Structure 1
Amino acid sequence: MLVRSMGNNRLHRWVLACAVAAAMHMAALLVVVQAAQQHQMVPCMYIFGDSLVDNGNNNNILSLARANYRPYGVDFPDGAAPAGRFTNGRTMVDLLADHLGFRPPLIPAYALAEPADHARGLNFASGAAGIRHETGNNLGGHYALSEQVEHFRTVVQGLEPGKSQQLGRCIYYVGMGSNDYLNNYFMPDYYPTARNYDPSAYAALLLADYERQITDLYALGARKFVIAGVGQIGCIPYELARVADNPPPAGIGIAVPGINISLGGGGSNAGKRKGGCNEEINSAIAIYNKGLLAMVKRLNGGSQTPGARLVFLNAVNSGKDLAANAAAYGFTVLDRGCCGVGRNNGQITCLPMQTPCDDRSKYIFWDAFHPTEAANRIIAAKVFNSSSTADAYPINVSRLAAI
């Protein structure tokens, strides 16, 4: 009897130890899961914009505005992300999503996503897209902002009730306007807008359309908006290449596999220049950005959009900071693309299988129009963390996410 009792005691102790170990293991797993959930600051992220943030929506449509060929994406590890980003690696919104706690897989392109992806977030951006529907038609197919919003409407209608209720806590990044100038207003041989509107009237027209699309997103459940201004596109390599003494063919130089084309009817090559920049374009952009900031202020909790919180990202200030502090950031090449053809590597954009510069971290621009991942990384960190309203107004993105 004594031996049997001792055996039972050992068995009981062994069973108890196993139970305790299992409980501790489950508790540890719960802590890890909770930590992962807490690390992601918002339940989902939806992105609207143009080639600066497009990640593949144009891949399978009839368009010259595509980047689904190498060396675009050359700095992604093989298989790490689908082709289609207009840079050497990650875009600004890829990196912003990382700051928000989203972990791989990256936010997928709407055109490439599976239904299971829809509640976590989607990227609706499209290269060549603008606020105006005709913008970018010179480059073929694309999805204008209004179409991107309609794609989001389709997604919302298909969400389960529990998932649709979280839409008000998600981040909505919207960055539009560059193409409405580069691929519309400053192509007078292709578009009539410059003849029909002065810069102030055109900016007002764009912003009226823009505001309608933002309020449509609000009606679909969006509340936390990140609205990106337009940078000084008069200073991109494409414009720097168009010096008055020997201008290249007017319009946008674009490359797709097997095709090398310069399209369009001519930007304003006679604009006032300062340090090589086209100040006529920059002046028009300044009018637009001023109106965009006023729109953000007006919609920020206004009677039209109660409960909405909008953050304005000052792209001009970010660009000036990159240039002014280039050495501190590790940049040595500020005025030419890492990959491209002609003066400033900006007359024609990066060709299929072209060999890019060796050290992309030294370049602000990847091609004639778009920043490198190195530049995108700095901009994303700035707008996420900055305490200056000159970078993000009225609060930064991390504070917006925490609301």
Structure 2
Amino acid sequence: MDQRVFHSSMFLCLLLLITCNNIVLVPQAEARAFFVFGDSLVDNGNNNYLLTTARADAYPYGIDYPTHRATGRFSNGLNIPDIISEQIGSEPTLPYLNPALDGERLLVGANFASAGIGILNDTGIQFRLYELGARRVLVTGTGPLGCVPAELAQHSRNGECAADLQQASALFNPQLVQLVNQLNSEIGSTIFISANAFQSNMDFISNPQAYGFITSKVACCGQGRFNGIGLCTPVSNLCPNRNVYAFWDPFHPSERANRLIVETFMIGDTKYMNPMNLSTIMHLDSRT
């Protein structure tokens, strides 16, 4: 396989809420079960139970998690589903492979995400989720694939984002919005909500200082150019203050960047959320 194609595929399944297979079922007021489907951007520990090299179960992953231990999250601390749970007043969901996920805990929800799962090639899962009872489904678009430190390390000369990968995102995301609108029209209700992850990230990637970051090019944990080579391991370079780095490792945002992303999901206007943000959804559902 061509190396460039290989790396591009990795970005599609490893970066932020970057692909359309990161799907979050948002709870309604009377039934607050919260289910997550996706890749390493939203995996909260399923890969700990699988035979895979895509793991985040060792230091320094989890260094800023409340326990200061690696949990399987590809983050220095909390990831996006954790922060959404905080915002909507729910307990964090457990990985579906966690033995502690019993019937009572399922009332909270479950996380089915797994690092490295790849991209879905059809829309059938959306309808299956609806048929299973999901009444709010957040589908995130493709983020800035060409701007992650791993891409910069491999293909950027002066820290510029890879134009071809950025163009791929620009082609894909409007079509996702069209698909969401089509699905809602066919169902006759606002079930599916699209999140503009590209814009949510580009805000702080294009102007990191405005958001309190010192860089959006160099990962906190890694090695090589932009700390974008290889994996984050105990022998990697590690920044002392994760709050001033937009990227935690070569592919994944820091917890603080994740909080900025979730903020756009919660209160962002139609530039970020179509047709409405999560706060509006929660308000509407509380009245029904």
Shorter-chain TM-score bucket reads 0.7 to 0.9
Provide the residue aligned with 1:381 in structure 2: 263
Cα root mean square deviation, aligned: 2.0
Equivalent residue letter for 1:243 = H
Provide the residue aligned with 1:65 in structure 2: 54
Structure 1 residue 42, shift from structure 2 partner: 5.4
Provide the residue aligned with 2:82 in structure 1: 94
Provide the residue aligned with 2:177 in structure 1: 293
Of the candidates 318, 321, 327, which is equivalent to residue 203 of structure 2?
A: 321
CA contact (8 A) 1:51 1:86 kept: yes
Equivalent residue letter for 2:85 = A
Give the % identical residues.
Answer: 38
Structure 1 residue 357, shift from structure 2 partner: 0.6
Matched, 1:120 2:108: yes
Equivalent residue letter for 1:241 = A
Structure 1 residue 354, shift from structure 2 partner: 4.1
Provide the residue aligned with 2:276 in structure 1: 395
Q: Matched residues in 2 for 1:241 and 1:232: separation?
A: 15
Provide the residue aligned with 2:129 in structure 1: 217
CA contact (8 A) 1:56 1:82 kept: no
Change (3 A) 1:306 1:97: same
Structure 1 residue 311, shift from structure 2 partner: 1.4
Provide the residue aligned with 2:25 in structure 1: none
In structure 2, stretches of 5+ residues that fail to align are: 1-28
Provide the residue aligned with 2:149 in structure 1: 237
Question: Which stretch shifts more, 352-361 or 62-71?
Answer: 352-361
Structure 1 residue 107, shift from structure 2 partner: 1.2
Report the secondary structure of 2:246's partner residue: strand
Equivalent residue letter for 1:78 = T
Q: Matched residues in 2 for 1:231 and 1:324: separation?
A: 13
Structure 1 residue 333, shift from structure 2 partner: 1.3
Structure 1 residue 308, shift from structure 2 partner: 4.4
Structure 1 residue 130, shift from structure 2 partner: 2.0
Change (3 A) 1:278 1:244: closer
Matched, 1:334 2:216: yes
Change (3 A) 1:41 1:76: farther
Q: Which has the higher helix share?
A: 1
Residues 30-78 of structure 1, C-alpha deviation per residue, up to 9 Å, x if partnerless? Answer: xxxxxxxxxx785121111110010011112111111111111110122
Matched, 1:107 2:93: yes
**Structure of higher CA gyration radius:** 1
Equivalent residue letter for 1:221 = G
CA contact (8 A) 1:42 1:100 kept: no
Question: Which stretch shifts more, 362-371 or 225-234?
Answer: 225-234
In structure 1, stretches of 5+ residues that fail to align are: 1-39, 133-205, 246-273
Equivalent residue letter for 2:97 = A
Provide the residue aligned with 2:140 in structure 1: 228
Which protein, 1 or 2, shows the higher relative CO under an 8 Å CA cutoff with sep ≥ 6?
2
Q: What is the TM-score normalised by the length of structure 1?
A: 0.60
Equivalent residue letter for 2:101 = E
Q: What is the TM-score normalised by the length of structure 2?
A: 0.82
Greater than 3 Å deviation, 4+ residue runs: 352-355
Provide the residue aligned with 1:179 in structure 2: none
Provide the residue aligned with 2:32 in structure 1: 43
Structure 1 residue 244, shift from structure 2 partner: 6.6
